[in-house]
Every structure is written in C-alpha cells, then in structure tokens.
Structure 1
C-alpha cells in the first residue's frame, strides 16, 4: 500500500513537471511568435522605406533629365538667335547714340568691378555746369579724375576699309580730327583747378581703335597727354583703375590711422586722469590707515587705563567685600 502511494506521488510530481514544461513551451512559443511578428513588421517598414527612396530617386532622375532637356532646348534657341544678335550688334555699332551707350555700359562695368561704390559717381555735374560720364573721387593729390567715353568707330572703320591710299589718307585725317575734337572737349570741360585733377581720361571702348591710335598716331597721343587728357582702352583702363583702387585704399587707411591716433590720444588722456585719481585715492587710503592706527592706539590706551583702575586697591571696596 505504501508502495502504491509512493508511486502515485511520483506520478503526480511527474505530471506537474510535464505541465510546467508544457506551459513554458507555450510561453516560449508565444514569445517566438511575437518576435517573428515584430521582425516581419520591421522588414515591411524597411522595405516600404526602400521603395519610397527608390521612387524619390527615380523621380529626381526624371526631373534632372527633364532639366537637362530644357537646357539643351535653351542652348539650341540661343544658337538659333545668335545670328540675329550679330545683326543687332552691327546695328548698335552703326548707330552713334547706341554705340555711345554701349561704351558707357562697358565703362560702368569696369569701374564698378574695380572700385568701391563710394569711390566714383556717374553723370557727375561739375561746377562749370558740364557733366562727365564718370568722376573718380581720388583725394588730393591728384584729386578727382573725370572719365569720358568716346567711340570714334565710323572714322576708324572707314580707315580700315579704305580701298586705296587716297581714301585711307582721307579717313585717317578724319579719324585724327575726331580724336583732337574729343581731346579739346575733355580738356576744356573737365579740367577745373581746385576741383578736379590736372588730368582726365578719355575711354575708348574698343581695343582695336585704341591699339591703332597708339601704334600709328603716337604724336596725337602725346599731344593729348600734354593737354591733360590720357587716352585709355579697356585693358589700360583696368590697369589704371587698379592703381586708383590702391590710392583709395591708402587714403582710407590714412583716415583710419588718423582716427586711431585720435582715439589713442584720448585713451592716453583718460589713462593719465585715471592715474591722478588713483594717486588721490591712494592718499585718502593712506590717511584712513593712519586714522585707524590712531584709533587703535587710543583704544589700547583706554583699555590699559581701565585695567590700571581695576587693579587699584581701594579700602572701601575691601571692607565692603569683607
């Protein structure tokens, strides 16, 4: 009987262990199922993200291709319009007013590229009522320099296209007359003592015209220089503007140096004033220390006198004590 009971007890324990194992297996299976579901969801999200990124890249590629096709179409349109632009340029150069405007635009571009905005003025009116294309505001010396744009293209073209020496000689005489007239106008209008520099600039927007003038008519260039008019082309004007830029920078540095010197002098005065006040404060502090020492000495004397009084042997006090 006891053996049967023991066997039943062991069987119950085994059944309980088996039940616990089954429950543990079920819990593990549930965890595995949950982990599998989480991983599946993560993979689905990653796949969706990759598909979205691929769609964005495809859309960006299509947009880039479309933009490049637009650029190609624009380039083709520009090439088709180039012939018309050449014709328009010839028309501009053939019109005297349009040619003058083109020279002024080129002058503006050069000046604005090399000088600060405060260093020049467009269409400046001088005290004599004349107006120059540009006034470069250099400090004295040399002073403000007037710049005027001239474009004698017709006479130069006639000189280049002359069919025979007689026509070339006539065109050359016309070209030199135009240059002399421009030089006389600039010298008479834009050179004002005390207001402008002793020289002015005549700007030729064409390198070809400028080169022809200096190569074949050096005497005319020297004559213009003697009258205070210096003839420059785009390249030489660029070099002159670089020099003027340096002058403006030096003038600005000198102004800043004067301001710094003024501030340093003011700082030196404030420093001297501070030293005087510190010396006065040091004197007051020394007097205060002497007063404190005198007070301490007086207090010590009072304490010693009190101790002396306390040490006196007074008979009345002794009798009262007995």
Structure 2
C-alpha cells in the first residue's frame, strides 16, 4: 500500500464509523411519546458531532493534499536532477567511447610499420614547420651518398646541416612491455638492444657525411614512453650512440632542440645582416669621402671662377672708362680741343 494512502483512509474510516454510530443511536432512540424532546437534543448533538467530524476530515484532506503536492514537487525535482545526471553520464560515456576509438586507432597505427612511420613523419614535419623558418629545413632531402633522409635542418658551419630519421623499430619494445615472465623479458631486452645498435649504425653510416652534414644526426622517437625506457634500460647504448654522433630525441626534447636551432639561425641571420649593413656603411663612407673631394674641387673651381669674374669686372670697368673718355673726346668742339692742345 502506498505511504500516502494510509493517512487518507484513517479519517474516512473514522467518519464512516461516526456516521454508523449516529445511525445506530438514532434507530435505538426513536421517538416514544414523552422522550421526543431528549431524542431531538441528542440528534442535534450527534449532528454537531458529525459536522465537527466532517470539518476534521476536510482539514485532514487539505493537509494531505498539501503534503501530496509537496511530495509530487520533490519527486519531480528529484526526477529532473536524475535526468540531468543521466545526461552528464551519457555525455561522459560518449566521450569515453570516442576516446576508446581513438586509442584503438592509435594502437592500430603503432602496430603497422608503414602507418607508424607515416605517423612519425607527420609529427616530425609538423614540429619542423612550427618551430623553424621555411628556408631553415628541407623534407626528404637526398645526400650526395645517395641516401634520402626524412628531414635536413640547414644549420651553418659549424656545426653544419643535421639530418633527422623518423623511423625506429618498436616491435622489440612492445614485446618487452608485454613480456609475461623474466625469460621473455630478457629475450626482448636482447632483441631491443640489437635493434638499437643496428639502427644507430645505419644512421651514423648514412646520415653523417663529413663536409656535407654536421658531425651528428638525430633519431626522432614519436613516443615519450619509448624515449624514457631507452634511457632507463639501455643507458649504455644511448651513451654509445651519443659518442658516435647519433642522438635519440623525443617530441619534448626535439621541441627544445628546435628552439635552440631557431635561435642559432636567427643569430646567424642577424650576423649576416650586420655584415651586410657594415659593408653598406663602408660604401656610404666611401661615397661621402668622394663627395667631400668633389665639393672641395667645386669650391676651388668656384674660387677660380670668382677671381676670373673679378678680373672680368675690372676689365669691363676699364673698358667702360675708356669708352667714356673716348665719347667725351668725340663730343668736344674743335675750339675746346685746340685750347686743350695749346695748354
């Protein structure tokens, strides 16, 4: 029976019992001559009692209605919160399923050699494009020995261009991580050590060309976990590879290395621009010196010209004076001329 039904049945049962009791009393006290007045008084009292019972039942019903309404509101609010939580759980479940699909896809990629190589190449290329200028690196560059490296970072000498290889054998590492016992783990470690040594030998032989590349090359590992395991389990081989000029880098360490290389390229570019600016300043100083010589020569020519002008002015003044004298002589009358001659 529901919890809300019992409070409703109790007042109804009480009202019904009261009504039955009133009816029974009325039947038992039917009017018999002189007792009619007492019966009427008892009937009035029973009626008043019935009214009070009805009022009590109505009040109880009203309280019960309010309680039921409040209970319904709380139930609806709880249902609404439950639906919201279910929606959140559904969204989380969808995200988990999507993440599981991505993890499965990543596992499929890493399980296939060709797909794994393509994944490493794409990751390497994105990092190079993001950290270095376009003219600072080349993709699938062919060296003079006929080897094609995955990428070549064009650094100036020293140290020189650095070749990068993005392929690495992961089968032995995966077997090492899945080894069920110590014997399988030891076999996987021996296989992984042999694979590392062979790959380092190939990179050192193919990607380090004296006079063409730097005295070192990089092996890009697309997994931070693999990089950590190599340093933790095969530190001797990693140190040996470093002595041969082959360095194993993860995405995190390559990011830092590319940052240093970009700073080196910027420094080289600034030095080249400074040299070019110095040459231009030297040319400007030479042109300025030539301009000074030509200005001095022009000043000398101008001084000579001024002297010539002054001499010309003096000659012109003399000519003007002689012309004036000649004109004065021609305009004198013959008598005045004779008088001056006699004097």
TM-score (norm 2): 0.66
Asked if 1:109 corresponds to 2:122, the answer is no
Aligned residues: 246
Q: 1:77 to 1:267 in 2, by over 3 A?
A: farther
In the alignment, which of 255, 275, 286 is matched to residue 269 of structure 1? 286
Q: How much does 1:85 deviate?
A: 2.9
Q: How much does 1:120 deviate?
A: 0.7
> Could you tell me how far apart the structure 2 residues matched to 1:309 and 1:92 are?
119
Provide the residue aligned with 1:170 in structure 2: 187
Check whether the contact 2:153–2:162 (CA below 8 A) recurs between aligned residues: yes
Provide the residue aligned with 1:280 in structure 2: 297
Provide the residue aligned with 2:246 in structure 1: 229
Q: 1:130 to 1:317 in 2, by over 3 A?
A: farther
What's the secondary structure of 1:122's corresponding residue? strand
Check whether the contact 1:202–1:231 (CA below 8 A) recurs between aligned residues: yes
Q: How much does 1:250 deviate?
A: 1.5
CA-to-aligned-CA distance 1:16-42 (integer Å, 9 cap, x gap): xxxxxxxxxxxxxxxxxxxxxxxxxxx
> Could you tell me how far apart the structure 2 residues matched to 1:158 and 1:317 are?
146
Deviates further, 124-133 or 172-181: 172-181
Provide the residue aligned with 2:215 in structure 1: 198
> Could you tell me how far apart the structure 2 residues matched to 1:317 and 1:307 are?
20
Asked if 1:91 corresponds to 2:108, the answer is yes
> Could you tell me how far apart the structure 2 residues matched to 1:284 and 1:78 are?
91
Provide the residue aligned with 1:316 in structure 2: 334
Provide the residue aligned with 1:118 in structure 2: 135
Q: 1:174 to 1:317 in 2, by over 3 A?
A: farther
In the alignment, which of 173, 183, 188 is matched to residue 156 of structure 1? 173
Q: How much does 1:310 deviate?
A: 5.9
Check whether the contact 1:145–1:200 (CA below 8 A) recurs between aligned residues: yes
Provide the residue aligned with 1:62 in structure 2: none
In the alignment, which of 149, 153, 157 is matched to residue 136 of structure 1? 153
Q: How much does 1:79 deviate?
A: 7.1
Q: How much does 1:318 deviate?
A: 4.4
Q: How much does 1:92 deviate?
A: 1.0
> Could you tell me how far apart the structure 2 residues matched to 1:82 and 1:216 are?
30
What's the secondary structure of 2:156's corresponding residue? coil
> Could you tell me how far apart the structure 2 residues matched to 1:187 and 1:151 are?
14
Q: How much does 1:309 deviate?
A: 5.0
Provide the residue aligned with 1:35 in structure 2: none
What's the secondary structure of 1:231's corresponding residue? strand
Give the ranges of 4+ consecutive aligned residues of structure 1 lying more than 4 Å apart after TM superposition: 75-82, 306-315
What's the secondary structure of 1:213's corresponding residue? helix
Provide the residue aligned with 1:254 in structure 2: 271
Check whether the contact 2:120–2:222 (CA below 8 A) recurs between aligned residues: yes
Q: How much does 1:302 deviate?
A: 2.8
> Could you tell me how far apart the structure 2 residues matched to 1:274 and 1:195 are?
46
Q: Give unmatched runs, 5+ long, in structure 1.
A: 1-74
TM-score (norm 1): 0.70
Q: How much does 1:289 deviate?
A: 0.7
CA-to-aligned-CA distance 1:46-97 (integer Å, 9 cap, x gap): xxxxxxxxxxxxxxxxxxxxxxxxxxxxx99887654433322211111111
Q: How much does 1:311 deviate?
A: 6.1
CA-to-aligned-CA distance 1:86-110 (integer Å, 9 cap, x gap): 3222111111111111111111111
Q: Give unmatched runs, 5+ long, in structure 2.
A: 1-91, 338-343
Q: CA RMSD in A?
A: 2.5
CA-to-aligned-CA distance 1:100-143 (integer Å, 9 cap, x gap): 11111111111111111101111111111011110111111111
Q: How much does 1:233 deviate?
A: 0.8
Asked if 1:245 corresponds to 2:270, the answer is no
